Chain A
Amino acid sequence: MSTAAARYVGQSVKRLEDPRLVTGHGRYVDDIMLPGMLHVAFGRSDLARATITHLDTSAAEALDGVHAVFTGADLNSHNDSLRASLHPPESPAPPANMLADGDVRFVGDPYVMVVAESRYIAEDALELVDVEFEPLDPVVDYETAAESDNHVHPELGGNLAHDLPVPNPAQQEVFENAAHIITETWHQHRQTNVPMETRGIVASWQPHAGVMEVWASTQSPHEMQLVGARVLGIGEHKMVVHFGDVGGGFGQKMFLGREDMAVLVAAKLLASPVKWIEDRRENLLASNHARIEQMTVSMAVDEDGNFLAADLDQLEDDGAYPLGGPATPGAMATMLYPGPYRMGPVSWRARTVYTNTCGRGAYRGPWQMESVAREQMIDRVAREIGIDPLELRRRNVLKPEDLPYQVSTGLFYETTISPEQTLEQAAEMIGYDDFRAEQAKAREEGRYLGLGMALYIEPTSMGMGPLGTESAMLRVEVDGHVNVFMGTGSHGQSLETTIAQLVADELGVRPDDVTLHQGHGSGYGFGTGGSRSAVIAGSAARAAASGVREKVVAIAAHLMEASADDLEVADGVISVKGTPAASMTMAQVAATAYQNSDALPPGTEAGLEHTARYKAPPTTHSNACHICTCEIDPGTGKVTLLRYVVSEDCGVLINPMVVDGQIAGGVVQGIGGVLYEHCVYDESGNPLASTFLDYLVPTAAEVPDLETGHVVVPSDTPGGHKGTGEGGAIGAPPAVFNAVADALAPFGVYPNRQPLDPNAVLSLIASASDS
Chain B
Amino acid sequence: MVADQISLSMTINGRARRGVAEPRLTLADFLREQAQCTGVHLGCEHGVCGSCTVLMDGEAVRSCLLFAVQADGADITTVEGLAPDEETLHPVQEAFRDCHGLQCGFCTPGFIVSVTAFLEANPDPSDEEIRHGIAGNLCRCTGYQGIVAATRQAAAAMKGSGQS
B34 to chain A, nearest CB (A): 11
Task: Find chain B residues with CB under 8 A from A706 CB.
Answer: 143, 145
Instruction: Report the stretch among B55-63, B66-74, B129-137, B156-164 that lies at the interface.
Output: B129-137
| B15 on the A face (CB < 8 A) | no
The interface bits of chain B over 123-148 (1 if a CB of A lies within 8 angstroms of the residue's CB, else 0) are 00000001110111111111111111
The one of B24, B41, B78, B148 in contact with A120, judged by C-beta atoms closer than 8 angstroms, is B24
Is A661's CB under 8 angstroms from B104's CB? no
Instruction: Report the stretch among A21-29, A179-187, A517-525, A545-553 that lies at the interface.
Output: A21-29
CA gap between A279 and B64 in the complex, in Å: 12
Contact A23-B82, Cβ < 8 Å, known A194-B140, A697-B138: yes
Between B25, B44, B51, B104, the greatest number of chain A beta carbons within 10 A of the residue's beta carbon is seen for B104
Interface residues of A in 700-722 (CB under 8 A from B): 700-701, 703, 705-706
CA gap between A197 and B148 in the complex, in Å: 21
Task: Find chain B residues with CB under 8 A from A27 CB.
Answer: 38
The one of B43, B104, B143 in contact with A245, judged by C-beta atoms closer than 8 angstroms, is B104
Is A197's CB under 8 angstroms from B135's CB? no
Is B100's CB under 8 angstroms from A250's CB? no
| A733 on the B face (CB < 8 A) | no
Is B102's CB under 8 angstroms from A700's CB? no
| A475 on the B face (CB < 8 A) | no
B126 to chain A, nearest CB (A): 13
| A657 on the B face (CB < 8 A) | yes
Task: Find chain B residues with CB under 8 A from A197 CB.
Answer: 41, 43, 104, 106
A123 to chain B, nearest CB (A): 11
Task: Find chain B residues with CB under 8 A from A666 CB.
Answer: 143
B136 to chain A, nearest CB (A): 8
Is A63's CB under 8 angstroms from B37's CB? no
Task: Find chain B residues with CB under 8 A from A247 CB.
Answer: 41, 104-107
Task: Find chain A residues with CB under 8 A from B148 CB.
Answer: 700, 705
Q: List 19 A-B contacts (CB under 8 A).
A: A14-B98, A18-B97, A22-B102, A24-B37, A24-B39, A24-B79, A26-B39, A31-B32, A33-B33, A121-B2, A195-B104, A198-B43, A491-B104, A661-B143, A662-B103, A664-B145, A692-B44, A699-B135, A705-B148
**Which residue on chain A has the smallest CB distance to residue B107?**
A196
Is B82's CB under 8 angstroms from A250's CB? no
Task: Find chain B residues with CB under 8 A from A705 CB.
Answer: 145, 148
Is A661's CB under 8 angstroms from B142's CB? yes
The one of B96, B109, B144 in contact with A703, judged by C-beta atoms closer than 8 angstroms, is B144
CA gap between A669 and B136 in the complex, in Å: 17
The one of B33, B49, B80, B142 in contact with A25, judged by C-beta atoms closer than 8 angstroms, is B80
Contact A665-B96, Cβ < 8 Å, known A26-B105, A280-B43: no
| A15 on the B face (CB < 8 A) | yes
Is A25's CB under 8 angstroms from B39's CB? yes
| A691 on the B face (CB < 8 A) | yes
CA gap between A15 and B32 in the complex, in Å: 26
The interface bits of chain B over 26-52 (1 if a CB of A lies within 8 angstroms of the residue's CB, else 0) are 000000110001111111111011010
Listed from nearest, the 7 A-B pairs whose CB atoms lie closest are A24-B39, A247-B106, A21-B105, A668-B143, A492-B104, A664-B143, A492-B103
Q: How large is the interface on B (under 10, 10 to 19, 20 to 34, 35 or more residues)?
A: 35 or more
CA gap between A26 and B39 in the complex, in Å: 7
Is B97's CB under 8 angstroms from A15's CB? yes
Task: Find chain B residues with CB under 8 A from A493 CB.
Answer: 103
CA gap between A64 and B1 in the complex, in Å: 9
CA gap between A692 and B134 in the complex, in Å: 16
Is A700's CB under 8 angstroms from B147's CB? yes
A589 to chain B, nearest CB (A): 30
The one of B103, B106, B147 in contact with A28, judged by C-beta atoms closer than 8 angstroms, is B106
Is B143's CB under 8 angstroms from A196's CB? no
**Which residue on chain B has the smallest CB distance to residue A33?**
B33
Is B49's CB under 8 angstroms from A661's CB? no
Is B2's CB under 8 angstroms from A700's CB? no
Number of chain A residues whose Cβ lies closer than 8 Å to a Cβ of chain B? 62
CA gap between A669 and B142 in the complex, in Å: 10
Interface residues of B in 12-26 (CB under 8 A from A): 22, 24-25
CA gap between A250 and B104 in the complex, in Å: 11
| A209 on the B face (CB < 8 A) | no
Task: Find chain B residues with CB under 8 A from A748 CB.
Answer: none
| A207 on the B face (CB < 8 A) | no
Task: Find chain B residues with CB under 8 A from A31 CB.
Answer: 32, 38
| B155 on the A face (CB < 8 A) | no
Is A19's CB under 8 angstroms from B97's CB? yes
Is A664's CB under 8 angstroms from B41's CB? no
Task: Find chain A residues with CB under 8 A from B80 CB.
Answer: 23-25
Contact A665-B140, Cβ < 8 Å, known A22-B108, A30-B42: yes
Contact A665-B142, Cβ < 8 Å, known A15-B100, A492-B103, A657-B100: yes
CA gap between A65 and B2 in the complex, in Å: 9
A247 to chain B, nearest CB (A): 3
Contact A196-B51, Cβ < 8 Å, known A23-B80, A65-B2, A700-B130: yes
**Which residue on chain A has the smallest CB distance to residue B110?**
A196
**Which residue on chain B has the smallest CB distance to residue A644?**
B143
Interface residues of A in 616-673 (CB under 8 A from B): 657-658, 660-662, 664-669
A675 to chain B, nearest CB (A): 14
Task: Find chain B residues with CB under 8 A from A196 CB.
Answer: 41, 43, 49, 51, 104, 106-107, 138-141
Is A22's CB under 8 angstroms from B143's CB? no
Is B44's CB under 8 angstroms from A64's CB? no
The interface bits of chain B over 78-89 (1 if a CB of A lies within 8 angstroms of the residue's CB, else 0) are 111011000001
Besides the known contacts A17-B105, A245-B104, 10 further A-B residue pairs in the complex with CB atoms under 8 A apart: A22-B102, A24-B80, A121-B2, A196-B51, A280-B44, A491-B104, A492-B103, A493-B103, A661-B145, A665-B143
CA gap between A657 and B112 in the complex, in Å: 20
CA gap between A545 and B51 in the complex, in Å: 38
**Which residue on chain B has the smallest CB distance to residue A65?**
B2
Task: Find chain B residues with CB under 8 A from A17 CB.
Answer: 105
The interface bits of chain A over 7-23 (1 if a CB of B lies within 8 angstroms of the residue's CB, else 0) are 00000101101110111
CA gap between A196 and B49 in the complex, in Å: 8
CA gap between A190 and B145 in the complex, in Å: 26
Is A23's CB under 8 angstroms from B89's CB? yes
Is A22's CB under 8 angstroms from B89's CB? yes
CA gap between A667 and B144 in the complex, in Å: 11
Task: Find chain A residues with CB under 8 A from B131 CB.
Answer: 700-701
CA gap between A705 and B142 in the complex, in Å: 12
Task: Find chain A residues with CB under 8 A from B102 CB.
Answer: 18, 21-22
B102 to chain A, nearest CB (A): 6
| A724 on the B face (CB < 8 A) | no
Task: Find chain A residues with CB under 8 A from B104 CB.
Answer: 195-197, 245-248, 491-492
Task: Find chain A residues with CB under 8 A from B105 CB.
Answer: 17-18, 21-22, 26, 245, 247, 492
The one of B33, B41, B100, B137 in contact with A658, judged by C-beta atoms closer than 8 angstroms, is B100
CA gap between A74 and B98 in the complex, in Å: 52
Contact A195-B96, Cβ < 8 Å, known A17-B105, A23-B83, A64-B2: no
| A124 on the B face (CB < 8 A) | yes
B156 to chain A, nearest CB (A): 18
**Which residue on chain A has the smallest CB distance to residue B104?**
A492
CA gap between A428 and B134 in the complex, in Å: 32
A501 to chain B, nearest CB (A): 14
Task: Find chain A residues with CB under 8 A from B147 CB.
Answer: 700
The interface bits of chain A over 91-103 (1 if a CB of B lies within 8 angstroms of the residue's CB, else 0) are 0000000000000
The one of B22, B48, B100, B136 in contact with A660, judged by C-beta atoms closer than 8 angstroms, is B100
CA gap between A196 and B131 in the complex, in Å: 19
A725 to chain B, nearest CB (A): 10
Task: Find chain B residues with CB under 8 A from A23 CB.
Answer: 39, 79-80, 82-83, 89, 93
| A488 on the B face (CB < 8 A) | no
The interface bits of chain A over 107-151 (1 if a CB of B lies within 8 angstroms of the residue's CB, else 0) are 000000000000011001000000000000000000000000000
A603 to chain B, nearest CB (A): 46
| A437 on the B face (CB < 8 A) | no
Is B2's CB under 8 angstroms from A494's CB? no
CA gap between A21 and B41 in the complex, in Å: 12
Task: Find chain A residues with CB under 8 A from B132 CB.
Answer: 700-701
